Structure 1
C-alpha cells in the first residue's frame, strides 16, 4: 500500500470510478475533477448505496472514505473484494484516518492505497495513472 504526496500525474485512460464519501460538497468537487480527466464517475454517500450499484456499474476504481454512516469504508472494501466485478478493482482509501492502525486495517480490508485528507487531486490522479500504467498496486 502506498502513500503518495503528489507529483504531477501522467495521463491515464478514462476509467469507471465509484466515489463514496458522505461529504456531499467534497464528493461533488472530486467528481467534477475526475470527469475533467474523462473518467465516468458515480457518486454515493454511504456504503449500502455504493454496494447497490457496483454490479451494474462495474467500477475499475473505487475511491472510498472510511468514516461513512451506517457501514464503514473498511466493511465496504471487504465486501467489494468478495464480488467478481470488483475483486480486482483499484481501491483507494481517502480518509481523515491516518494512524498506523488505520493503514493496517485498510490493507487488511483490501485497499490498494491509503491517502490521508487533505490530499491533492494530483495525488489521486497519480495513483490512478500509476496503477494502470504498469505501476504495481502495493
Structure 2
C-alpha cells in the first residue's frame, strides 16, 4: 500500500468550506475532502457562506466564482473587507482559467485559483500548502 498512513492525513486536517450553487459539486467535493480527513461544511450561496465563515471559521474556503446572486468574487471581497472575524484562505474554483481570470480572482482577494474539474492529486497538493496553524480559531 502506498501513501501516508491515515494518521498523517489527520495531522494536517483543515476545516474546509465548499461554496457552490451546484448540489452535485457540493456533494462530490465534500465527500472527497472528508475522505482525505478534513472537516467540511458547505454553502450554496454567497450569503450562506458569509454566515458559515463568521460562525464556523474555516481554515480554507473553496469558492465557485460563477454563482448567481452574490458571485464568488463579491464573496471574496466581502470576506477580505472584514465581513468575517478572521481571514480564511480563499481558493477560487472555476471553469475559467485564462490569465485575465486569474488576475480577476487575485484582485477580488483569492489566495489561489484552480480550474474545474479539480483532480484529487491537485486538491491534496493545494490543501497541503497551508498549515493548519495558519488560521487558528478565534478565542471567545
TM bin, normalised by shorter chain, reads 0.7 to 0.9
Q: How is 1:96-135 mapped onto 2 (pairs within 5 angstroms)?
A: 96-132=95-131
Length-normalised TM-score, structure 1: 0.82
Structure 2 residue runs of 5 or longer lacking an equivalent are 134-140
Task: Return the structure number with greater relative CO, CA threshold 8 A, min gap 6.
Answer: 1
Root mean square deviation, CA, Å: 2.2
Q: 1:18 is matched with which residue?
A: 17
TM-score after normalising by structure 2? 0.81
Query: Which stretches in structure 1 are left out of the alignment for 5+ residues?
Result: 1-7
The list of structure 1 runs, each at least 4 consecutive aligned residues, that deviate by more than 6 angstroms after superposition, is none
Deviation digits for residues 88-131 of structure 1, max 9, x if unmatched?
A: x2111110121222111101111111101122022111111022
CA distance in 2 between counterparts of 1:133 and 1:41 reads: 14
- The number of aligned residues is 126
**Deviation, structure 1 residue 133:** 8.1
Bigger Rg, structure 1 or 2: 2
